Amino acid sequence: MLKNESLYLRVADENDKLLLFEWSNDPEVRKNSFNTDSISLPEHEQWLKNALADGNTLIYILMEKDIPVGQVRLVHGDCWQVNYSIAAGCRGKGYGKRIIHMAENELIQAGHAKERLYAEVRPDNVASQRIFLGLGYRQMACDKDAYAYEKVIGSS
């Protein structure tokens, strides 16, 4: 667990089921997702169960003191796919940049330095585009109607 003053990441678990469900169905999150359909609770429960059991998936909750403010999911395939969201009342306060940076540090501390992170962002999601560029991600071609970003972590 990476702690920085009152802001830290903790590993998500089954107890986060309803919190993650609520966040995943937030209208702004759905709008910025590639699948904009709302998610049913049974679908979410099955997804979370599978994700938590998958050794290639890491899910963290960003905490401000004892208050959850966002989540980041890292899925390892040929690289680390990054997905994140910030709770509705916490957006626009710099948490997006912090959660991605802290997730990078978690990966580095777990021995994944020099590995590639990759994210796809919808064209109208300017906030996330700025976050990835601001953290040194390189914009690259994408085969979807999206912007793609990549970065090799811990390489400097």
pTM of the model: 0.92
Looking at the structure of the chain, the number of domains it has is: 1
Band (156; pLDDT cuts 50, 70, 90): low
Instruction: Please check the confidence at residue 143 and state whether its pLDDT lies above 90.
Output: no
HEC string of the chain? Answer: CCEECCEEEEECCHHHHHHHHHHHCCHHHHHHCCCCCCCCHHHHHHHHHHHHHCCCEEEEEEEECCEEEEEEEEEECCCEEEEEEECHHHCCCCHHHHHHHHHHHHHHHCCCCCCEEEEEECCCCHHHHHHHHHCCCEEECCCCCCEEEEEECCCC
Q: Which domain CATH number covers 108?
A: 3.40.630.30
Per the structure, the complete domain to which residue 129 belongs is given by 3-152
